[in-house]
Amino acid sequence: MPSEEMDILGLRSEQARRIAREREMHRRFKSGELRGVVVSSSDADADRGVLLAAAHLFQRQLSKMPKEYVLRQVFDTKHATMALVGPAAEVVGGVCYRPFFERGFVEIVFLAVDYDFQVLGVGGFMMDLFKEVAKGEMRGKEWEAADSVLGIYRHKCVAIDDLDALHVSVAAEMPGPLYLVTYADNFAIGYFKKQGFSTDIRFGGWEGVIKDYEGGTIVECKVLWEIDYLRKQEAIEEMRREVLQRMRAAGSIHVLYKIDDYSGIKGAADIPGVPGEAGTGREVAGDAGLLDRFISYLISDLQSNAHAWPFLKPIDPEEVPDYYRVIANPMDLSTMLSKLESNKYKGLEPFVRDVRLMASNCMEYNGKDTQYYKCAQMLLDHFHGRLESYRHVASRLWAEGPG
Ligand code: ACO
């Protein structure tokens, strides 16, 4: 009996756990059990008690660091600390950081959660909060560049009271890309990866600016302006539902078949839900719909590729005024998706032609040493690799069909 109630790979229950954790952190904040503050000794009114408590926390949790050194860093006027303060006014977590806003990044100097509060979601929440705080600071006026070349700022100390007021909608002015970068302790790399950090360095604007630490691995994270990190689990849940809905619409992948009697199963084709070999009478729908599903898969595979960002939408003529004078037949991934949805692709070949056109336009317009040219090359190589892996499907769908 097919069942619609499948929890694919346990994702639903994992997600439910993360949503509950996110809500619990919001509840603690609202009830005042937990509050946030940003403190820097560059502000004469700084609460030095909080700074000292944060320094003690870092000293306890980062025991390999010399205590004296930690203290100096926390009280350094170039640094600020975002602290989470618990019910007994104790610092339960903190991020000591140095902003380089004019260079588009913030260095995390130390980060820790008190031992008694670990594994409860505090560390994840603290990073989400920090991302929103960093965005607000970069956009706002909590700092003043005393010397932007040396990255010296004067920070205003602020209390973080209202989580709902922190995230500002995308429509508001965005000052440019923002990255977080840190030398992660090797034991904490897994934590940083869960928070969106990567060892695959793409930004690198911090090179030669921040100090090297031995025994750590440099990781960086692009902070997205359009994401409300404090509500990211709910946003992920919305996306999960959307994906499932699309999978349901595209086929029967969501249907769970229960088998009560295994005696009749002699081969793969006898398993309920598994399409059989041609000629066994159990093929699901032949090639009907396969072309659209395959192209749809290839488009979303391209869209999610790290080198696809220049090709997601048509070139904006206001940003690149002469583009349409040079390029006679523009093409991009959103246009391909519209063509697919309006049934314009009658075979795989015209779609492949569009992908190649998109890349060759880019290579024609941009010089060989530009990142756009390199993206086009990488994306095209990736695409050809995909076609090669699925050549058994591709060759079936290559010819243009009727109409
Ligand atoms: N390795 C892999 N995954 C981890 C780790 C780890 N060491 N720590 C946490 N995670 C995962 C959790 O499983 C959780 O995953 P989920 O979202 O799938 O459930 C997610 O990260 C968030 O976990 P939290 O419970 O929110 O994290 P926690 O409150 O325990 O804080 C932290 C993590 C900050 C690393 C804490 O363990 C700590 O303070 N450690 C000691 C100090 C430290 O190592 N700091 C970083 C040093 S690097 C530097 O300071 C620049």
Q: Using the atom order of ligand 1, give the atom closest to the CA of residue 114.
A: 39
> Nearest CA to 86 among 49, 52, 114, 111?
114
Q: Residue 107's pLDDT is what?
A: 96
Q: Using the atom order of ligand 1, give the atom closest to the CA of residue 117.
A: 29
String of DSSP letters for 189-230: HHHHHHTT-BSS-S--TTTTTSPP-TTEEEEEEEEPTT--GG
- For residue 144, how many other CB atoms are within 10 A of its CB? 12
The residue behind tokens 């390199």 is: 374
Indicate which residues carry an active-site annotation: 107
Q: Residue 55 corresponds to which amino acid? A: A
Q: How far is the CA of 137 from the centre of ligand 1 (A)?
A: 24
Q: How far is the CA of 201 from the centre of ligand 1 (A)?
A: 21
pLDDT tens sequence across 320-355: 999 999 999 999 999 999 999 899 998 899 999 999
Q: How far is the CA of 168 from the centre of ligand 1 (A)?
A: 27
Residues 6+ apart with CB under 8 A from 192: 182, 184, 219, 221
The answer to whether the Cα torsion of 381, 337, 200, 172 is positive or negative is positive
Cα 251 to Cα 88, 258, 289, 311, 339: the distances in Å are: 55, 18, 10, 28, 21
Residue 94: phi, psi to the nearest 5?
Answer: -160, 155
- Helical segments of 285-322, H only: 290-303
Tell me which residue has its CA closest to atom 33 in ligand 1: 123
Mutate to test the pocket of ligand 1, among 191, 195, 199, 212 (most ligand atoms within 8 A of CB): 191
Q: Residue 350's pLDDT is what?
A: 94
Q: Residue 211's pLDDT is what?
A: 83
**Cβ(79)–Cβ(96) below 8 Å:** yes
How far is the C-alpha of 59 from the C-alpha of 96, rounded, in Å? 12
pLDDT tens sequence across 261-312: 888 777 777 777 776 544 443 444 455 578 888 899 999 999 988 889 999 9
**Cβ(380)–Cβ(355) below 8 Å:** yes
The residue behind tokens 């719909």 is: 289
Provide the greatest CA pair distance for the chain: 82
Tell me which residue has its CA closest to atom 24 in ligand 1: 121
Cα 398 to Cα 248, 291, 302, 337, 360: the distances in Å are: 26, 9, 19, 18, 21
Long-range contacts at 328-335 (CB < 8 A, ≥ 24 apart): 329/357, 329/361, 330/361, 331/357, 331/358, 331/361, 332/358, 333/299, 333/302, 333/303, 333/308, 333/358
Q: How far is the CA of 122 from the centre of ligand 1 (A)?
A: 9
Low-confidence ranges of the chain (pLDDT < 50): 1-5, 277-285, 400-403
List residues near ligand 1 (CB under 6 A). 18, 61-62, 108, 110-113, 118-124, 182-185, 187-188, 190-191, 194
The residue behind tokens 């904006």 is: 316
> Nearest CA to 84 among 47, 126, 32?
126
Q: Residue 4's pLDDT is what?
A: 43
Q: Using the atom order of ligand 1, give the atom closest to the CA of residue 182.
A: 51
The residue behind tokens 């756990």 is: 17
Q: Using the atom order of ligand 1, give the atom closest to the CA of residue 188.
A: 7
Residue 100: phi, psi to the nearest 5?
Answer: -125, 60
Q: How far is the CA of 190 from the centre of ligand 1 (A)?
A: 7
How far is the C-alpha of 92 from the C-alpha of 115, rounded, in Å? 8
Q: Residue 36's pLDDT is what?
A: 94
User: How many residues does this entry show for the chain?
Assistant: 403
Structure tokens at 306: 């790290």
How far is the C-alpha of 92 from the C-alpha of 207, rounded, in Å? 31
The residue behind tokens 């860093």 is: 73
End-to-end CA distance of the chain: 39
